[in-house]
Amino acid sequence: MSNILIIKHGSLGDIAQACGAIQDISENHPDDQIYLLTTKPYYDLFKKNPHVSNIILDKRLSRLNLIYLYSLMKEIKKYSFSRVFDLQNSSRTSFYKRILFPKVSKEKWSSSETTLPKDKSKEDFDQYSVLERFDHQLKASGLKTNKTLTPDFSWSTMDISEIKNYYELENYIVLFPFCSPHLTLKKWPYYDELIKLINEKYKDEFKIIIAPGPNEINDASSLNVLCILDNGKALNISQLSSLIKNSSFVIANDTGPAHIAAHLGCRGLALFGSHTSAYKVNIETENFKAIQVSDLSKLSAQKVFEKLNNSLELYK
């Protein structure tokens, strides 16, 4: 039995995308111990992943913090990993490789860099979609891939019956109108208008809810919707996943919850401006679709509502 290391630091959407690759790595090493190196926000979440044996915490302190760096490298080295799968593919994890295994091949350290197609530059390869890049990386490392292109995030859910009972949730539409403060170009500005259109059409048939993050709770009060919290605090990732999975429909900006919804098999829409494409981030599935426009400020509430309405009517 060998020890295998997977590296995946985040973010939330990236975690949902990578879970198929993590499953394939695990299933290609059925007799080995699978360790996962991740950051604090996802440490407890990954403990629930059935394809991971153990979790190693990376605090991601400055590379100039030599005491921490030495401690982390010592922690990693003690497991004598026979293979490392770098699914983060960042400058930081490339830095780890140079410290830990400076001259190894793709059979020892699998990353987009070590498995780069011979006829492609890094810039060309980065034009592939996220899941296509994972799929190539694992195949080039000698693995069979069955789930990489179709991630299943259902392992992340938990029982939230108490929350649902408290808020009397049965049929509900969940909106994710926020985004990181430094990514405001992802934010669609017409959720207020959309909420009015849904209420006019469906009245009491569906509750409209939001589940704000810790830094979004104050902003959530400005919307005419039901704000879902757990004793006044933002839901954790497993609670959020369950809330999304049990919803009738999801509408979201291009943020982590949109990717969770896509990889839980939910019905819904993600709204994309010019910052990236739905193709590149693999957001679309059989049930979850995207609206792609060059300027989110020109995407009307009426158009989004029509997509929502058509989907809800189809499944009545």
Nearest-CA neighbor of 49 among 36, 59, 62?
Answer: 36
In the chain, where the domains are located: 3-147, 169-314
| Domain 3-147, CATH homologous superfamily name and number | Glycogen Phosphorylase B; (3.40.50.2000)
Give pLDDT, residue 181.
Answer: 73
Give Cβ neighbours of residue 112 (< 8 Å, ≥ 6 apart): 86, 89, 122, 125, 133, 137
Give pLDDT, residue 122.
Answer: 85
**pLDDT tens across 67-114, in order?**
999 999 999 999 999 999 999 999 999 999 999 988 888 789 999 999
Low-confidence stretches of the chain (pLDDT < 50) are none
Give pLDDT, residue 184.
Answer: 76
Using the structure block, give the residue that is written with the tokens 């049965």.
170
169-314: which CATH number, 3.40.50.300, 3.90.230.10, 3.70.10.10, 3.40.50.2000?
Answer: 3.40.50.2000
Give pLDDT, residue 120.
Answer: 86
Using the structure block, give the residue that is written with the tokens 């293979």.
83
Give pLDDT, residue 316.
Answer: 61
On the question of a common fold for 3-147 and 169-314, the answer reads yes
Give pLDDT, residue 96.
Answer: 96
